[in-house]
A = this chain, B = another copy of it.
Amino acid sequence: MSRYLKQTRYLVAVDSIIFGFDGENLKLLLIHRGLKPEKGRWSLMGGFIQPEEDLEKAADRILHELTGLKGVYLEQLYAFGNVHRDPTERTISVAYFSLIDIHQYEKQLSDEYHAEWVLLSEIPDLIFDHTEMVELAKKKLRYKAAIHPILFELLPEKFTIPQLQNLYEAVYDASFDKRNFSRKVLSTGLLVKQKEKDKGGSKKGAFYYQLDKGSYADKMQAFLNFIPNPDNLLI
């Protein structure tokens, strides 16, 4: 039934930039390639799309294979299609990035892939154009998080304001005034205060908060200007 007879076909892959936060640092989930070519080198998790599989679904599958997680935040980043990006054979790769709570990640299946969390500030050499993909993903994360409340995806369901601030400070490699920060974040109406405190972080303990799932969906688009002086922070 193929009617586009004279055209060349190409491999199409999906690669995933998976960000995680451990309460302290931002990390990236990488694998040690077990297969040739480039065996033994660091790489993003990826795979070829299958004949009956939508792009999004392929990204979902790959994420699931590596982390065992389903239903996590996943967003298309960019299609990379330089002719020689994979020296073996021309492959167009659609990169996705996702945000997961690092503590939800169980190392179940990861041995199969030799997956490891790596500090975002200490990313090793990666194969192909994966470094470029990661750089773009970092940029987009900063960009988007300045405008939309997506960083909650990196936290557990219950989190404290200081934890949230740590996360923002890690993403922007900056520090914010905690009075202004908490006022701003609470004024969004997105957070619901819990009765329990997290006693782990300090002697006094900090109250847990939870996302108001209802308004979260609504306000996804209404979070502009979250970061002061974004001009200085966005690349």
Contacts and interface: CB of A to CB of B under 8 A. Distances in A.
B54 A1 contact: no
A36 B88 CA distance: 34
A90 interface: yes
A192 interface: no
B90 A55 contact: no
A224 interface: yes
A81 B95 CA distance: 13
Contacts of A174: none
Given A12-B12, A36-B3, A79 B94 contact: yes
A10 B10 contact: yes
How many chain A residues sit at the interface, stated as a range, is 35 or more
A8 B89 CA distance: 13
A3 B89 contact: yes
Interface of A: 1-4, 7-12, 36-37, 48-56, 76, 78-83, 88-92, 94, 147, 221-222, 224-225, 230-231, 234-235
12 contacts: A2-B88, A4-B48, A4-B88, A8-B51, A10-B11, A12-B92, A49-B81, A54-B82, A55-B82, A55-B92, A92-B94, A147-B147
